[in-house]
């Protein structure tokens, strides 16, 4: 599939308008000094940054096709690259094909041994189980971005290889719903072509504390949303959440757990759509502000919420926008199918950030952090040789070096 290039609007200078690939160096990007506080203007800043990411990646892929000479050899190039799109840009048929494939995955048998995770019943649960088992080492560590990139990609592969899905992983552009609202958006409108709608309305839900971590990070108070109960519409209205909870945050500062969360505990999927959180933490301004950070450490901390700043970051903001169960439990969060649309957007944001300086940011200079949550207790730095695995979900053990670029190693995809 070829990537469209509506990009020449932004990049004059003749570098991108012709069919002949020019070198990446001919493209210049102006990184804004600051994100506009005006959401419309910030949206325009973001559109330019996204257009740059597309065009610069296209050029690398076009050059790969030109030097390869044989497009069937399997090298990632402009002719074979997968294009991940925003949910609202998919046709009704494509949306239905995606949710059908997710429901298919939920109907297939788990591969995780019952001795390890007795409650894992479906192939979908394999992803939840892998995330529970590694939660402490894949957030606020050096592998956060790469692990979730690999995790989302293997999920996409499972949908394609095990459930006959022929599309790619869609993403949820938080900045769109921050502007339009949630309940009428194509993702959340509850129609058969959505990802299902809100949970049943529960009146007078109080605010809740988004817990800091055990290392003493300041707490953030989050408002509750307009749902709170079981999802009643759309493709996932009959879905069962099997695992957890492990650390489910509830209104009124309660946290509930079902032991270690690994036993069988079937219950409905709940949501609590909270536009206030979307607008506050995952809007065009916060995303541009994240993208213009000068190094990976700043970038990933801003995205995840810099501890003690009162910020959730767009990553946290996205999770708490849909809320509910599994959504409001860090450990079992992939038990909510929206997780993968959300993490595709996290990955898209990283891909954009990498595209501004690919040589540095897809190499060793694009890694920051250690093996432990906020480096507590202190541990070894993550490097290109650090190994990642996804447990029984899928995939082989991979090194960081294989997971840094979306168009190298096992990956061959871009975002539109
Ligand atoms: Cu995670």
Q: 94 and 32: one domain? A: no
For residue 346, what are the CA distances in angstroms to 182, 222, 341, 380?
A: 18, 21, 9, 25
Ligand 1 centroid – CA 138 distance (Å): 7
Ligand 1 centroid – CA 289 distance (Å): 22
Q: 54 and 195: one domain? A: no
Tokens representing 85 are: 């799109």
Residue 125 domain-assigned (yes or no): yes
Tokens representing 281 are: 């933490």
Q: 69 and 97: one domain? A: no
Residue 214 domain-assigned (yes or no): yes
Give the DSSP letter of residue 185. Answer: S
Q: 17 and 97: one domain? A: no
Ligand 1 centroid – CA 336 distance (Å): 12
Q: 273 and 344: one domain? A: yes
Ligand 1 centroid – CA 9 distance (Å): 37
Q: Is the pTM of this model over 0.75?
A: yes
Ligand 1 centroid – CA 148 distance (Å): 7
Ligand 1 centroid – CA 2 distance (Å): 31
Q: 179 and 255: one domain? A: yes
Q: DSSP strand E in 122-268: where? A: 199-201, 208-210, 220-222, 228-231, 240-241, 248-250, 254-256, 267-268
Residue 111 domain-assigned (yes or no): yes
Predicted local distance difference test score (pLDDT) of residue 384? 98
Closest to 351 measured CA to CA, from 33, 8, 57: 57
Domain carrying residue 214: 84-415
Ligand 1 centroid – CA 327 distance (Å): 11
Closest to 195 measured CA to CA, from 70, 86, 309: 86
Task: State the Cα–Cα distance between residues 45 and 49, nearest whole angstrom.
Answer: 6
Beta bridge partners of 221: 209
Domain end: 80, 104, 130, which one?
80
Ligand 1 centroid – CA 120 distance (Å): 18
Ligand 1 centroid – CA 162 distance (Å): 23
Task: State the Cα–Cα distance between residues 39 and 45, nearest whole angstrom.
Answer: 10
Ligand 1 centroid – CA 28 distance (Å): 34
Q: 17 and 93: one domain? A: no
Ligand 1 centroid – CA 188 distance (Å): 21
Domain count, the chain: 2
Ligand 1 centroid – CA 330 distance (Å): 7
Task: State the Cα–Cα distance between residues 119 and 270, nearest whole angstrom.
Answer: 19
Predicted local distance difference test score (pLDDT) of residue 66? 83
Ligand 1 centroid – CA 274 distance (Å): 20
Task: State the Cα–Cα distance between residues 153 and 361, nearest whole angstrom.
Answer: 20
Find how far residue 267's CA is from the centre of its chain. 25
Q: 103 and 50: one domain? A: no
Task: Give me the CATH number covering residue 186.
Answer: 1.10.1280.10
- What sign results for the dihedral spanned by CA atoms 114, 125, 414, 46? negative
Residue 309 domain-assigned (yes or no): yes
Domain end: 17, 49, 80, which one?
80
Looking at the chain, how many residues does it have? Answer: 416
Ligand 1 centroid – CA 131 distance (Å): 6
For residue 170, what are the CA distances in angstroms to 84, 265, 332, 339?
A: 5, 29, 21, 11
Predicted local distance difference test score (pLDDT) of residue 306? 81
Q: pLDDT tens digits for the chain (416 residues)? A: 334 333 332 332 223 333 333 445 567 888 999 999 999 999 999 999 999 999 999 999 998 888 766 555 678 999 999 999 999 999 999 999 999 999 999 999 999 999 999 999 999 999 999 999 999 999 999 999 999 999 999 999 999 999 999 999 999 999 999 999 999 999 999 999 999 999 999 998 888 877 655 556 677 888 899 999 999 999 999 999 999 999 998 887 788 999 999 999 999 999 999 999 999 999 999 999 999 999 999 999 999 988 788 899 999 999 999 999 999 999 999 999 999 999 999 999 999 999 999 999 999 999 999 999 999 999 999 999 999 999 999 999 999 999 999 999 999 999 99
Residue 38 domain-assigned (yes or no): yes
Q: 21 and 155: one domain? A: no
Domain end: 48, 80, 112, which one?
80
Ligand 1 centroid – CA 51 distance (Å): 28
Q: 206 and 343: one domain? A: yes
Predicted local distance difference test score (pLDDT) of residue 241? 98
Residue 1 domain-assigned (yes or no): no
Please say whether the beta carbons of 305 and 314 come within 8 A. Answer: no
Residue 385 domain-assigned (yes or no): yes
Ligand 1 centroid – CA 110 distance (Å): 20
Ligand 1 centroid – CA 13 distance (Å): 41
Q: 263 and 409: one domain? A: yes
Task: State the Cα–Cα distance between residues 416 and 68, nearest whole angstrom.
Answer: 24
Q: 75 and 103: one domain? A: no
């Amino acid at each position: 599939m070829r990537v469209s290039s509506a990009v020449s609007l932004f990049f004059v200078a003749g570098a991108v308008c012709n069919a002949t690939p020019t070198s990446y160096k001919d493209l210049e990007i102006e990184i804004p000094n600051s994100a506009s506080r005006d959401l419309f203007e910030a949206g325009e800043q973001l559109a330019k940054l996204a257009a740059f990411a597309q065009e610069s990646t296209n050029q690398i892929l076009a050059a790969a096709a030109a030097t390869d000479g044989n497009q069937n050899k399997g090298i990632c190039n402009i002719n074979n690259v997968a294009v991940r799109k925003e949910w609202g840009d998919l046709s009704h048929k494509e949306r239905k094909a995606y949710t059908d494939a997710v429901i298919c995955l939920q109907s297939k048998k788990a591969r995780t041994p019952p001795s390890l995770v007795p409650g894992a019943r479906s192939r979908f649960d394999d992803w939840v189980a892998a995330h529970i088992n590694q939660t402490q080492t894949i957030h606020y560590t050096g592998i956060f971005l790469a692990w979730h990139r690999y995790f989302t990609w293997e999920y996409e592969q499972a949908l394609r290889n095990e459930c006959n899905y022929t599309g790619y992983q869609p993403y949820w552009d938080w900045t769109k719903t921050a502007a339009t609202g949630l309940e009428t958006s194509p993702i959340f409108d509850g129609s058969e072509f959505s990802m299902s709608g809100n949970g049943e309305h529960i009146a007078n839900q109080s605010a809740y504390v988004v817990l800091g971590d055990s290392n003493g990070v300041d707490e953030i108070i989050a408002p509750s949303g307009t749902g709170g109960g079981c999802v009643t519409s759309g493709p996932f209205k009959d879905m069962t959440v099997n695992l957890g909870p492990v650390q489910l945050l509830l209104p009124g500062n309660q946290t509930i757990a079902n032991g270690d969360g690994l036993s069988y505990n079937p219950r409905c999927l709940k949501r609590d759509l909270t536009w206030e959180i979307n607008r506050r933490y995952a809007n065009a301004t916060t995303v541009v502000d994240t993208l213009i950070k000068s190094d990976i450490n700043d970038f990933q901390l801003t995205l995840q919420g810099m501890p003690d700043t009162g910020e959730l970051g767009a990553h946290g903001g996205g999770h708490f926008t849909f809320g509910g169960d599994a959504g409001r439990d860090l450990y079992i969060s992939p038990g909510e199918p929206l997780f993968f649309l959300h993490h595709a957007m996290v990955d898209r944001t990283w891909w954009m950030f990498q595209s501004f300086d690919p040589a540095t940011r897809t190499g060793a200079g694009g890694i920051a952090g250690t093996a432990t949550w906020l480096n507590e207790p202190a541990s070894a730095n993550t490097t290109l040789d650090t190994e990642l695995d996804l447990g029984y979900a899928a995939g082989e053990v991979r090194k960081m070096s294989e997971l840094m670029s979306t168009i190298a190693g096992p990956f061959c995809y871009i975002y539109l």
